[in-house]
Amino acid sequence: MQRSIESLRRLNIGCGPHHALERWWNVDIRAFNGVDQVMDVSEPWPFGDLELIYAEHFLEHLEPRGTLAFLSHALGALQVGGRIRLSTPSLEWVVRTHYTFDADEQKQRLQTFATNRAFHGWGHQFLYSRALLEWLLAGLGFSDVSFPEYGESETEELVGIERHGGLSRSGGFPSVWIVEAVRGIDATGTPAEVEATFVENFIKYVESGH
């Protein structure tokens, strides 16, 4: 029997060819095997009243305007009390593990190359710190923003859901931030103010070629 999003109410974003989930509606921008629906999640969504939205190692591949659009659509598609869970590389961990400030100059040179090589190789557009993730989700209108441990959640369907490998720590920072948030009764964020902050501090420099 053909599955439908109306019966599942759980959306797995950016599943790619290897991370489709059973009992979830699997979405990607490309038609990989296991993808239930091909769509660009920065464009308006064709469904709503979702219970859960999950996106693992996805947010960092969007340029900031795409991130803002994706999260705004996600908020609008969730039912009141619906939950989003995001997994994204930790900026704090990347800095601590890829560059040693007190190393000798030769090592610092090699680490500089390695850091840039990794960033380009991963195809990342923007990396997030915990502080920015919390501010971003709250500013867009989500409530109850929390940072559970890798593989853990108070929501049964989200326990052990990660598929991209394990977690490491450096200096107290995890390699991946896991963040959850909820659509409250009054989802009254200020997306215009959030976008203005991104424009002022990042987007205008990128668009001007800096």
Q: What is the CATH number of the domain that holds 78?
A: 3.40.50.150
Token pair of 51 as six digits: 């219970």
Prediction pTM value = 0.89
The answer to whether residue 139 is domain-embedded is yes
Cα separation values, 74 from 5, 148, 171, Å = 14, 20, 33
The answer to whether residue 104 is domain-embedded is no
The answer to whether residue 114 is domain-embedded is no
Q: Which backbone phi and psi does 64 adopt, to 5 degrees?
A: -55, -40
The answer to whether residue 115 is domain-embedded is no
Closest CA to 23 of 1, 41, 5: 5
Residue 60's domain spans which residues? 5-91+124-207
Question: In total, how many domains does the chain have?
Answer: 1
* Local structure of 65: helix, strand or coil: helix
* Local structure of 123: helix, strand or coil: coil
| Cα–Cα dist 88/176, whole Å | 5
The answer to whether residue 173 is domain-embedded is yes
Token pair of 114 as six digits: 């390695």
| pLDDT value of residue 24 | 95
pLDDT tens string, the chain, 210 residues long: the values are 467 777 689 999 999 898 999 999 999 999 999 999 999 999 999 988 999 999 999 999 999 999 999 999 999 999 999 999 999 999 899 888 888 888 899 999 888 887 777 666 677 888 899 999 999 999 999 999 999 999 999 999 999 999 887 788 888 888 899 999 999 888 766 788 999 999 999 889 888 866
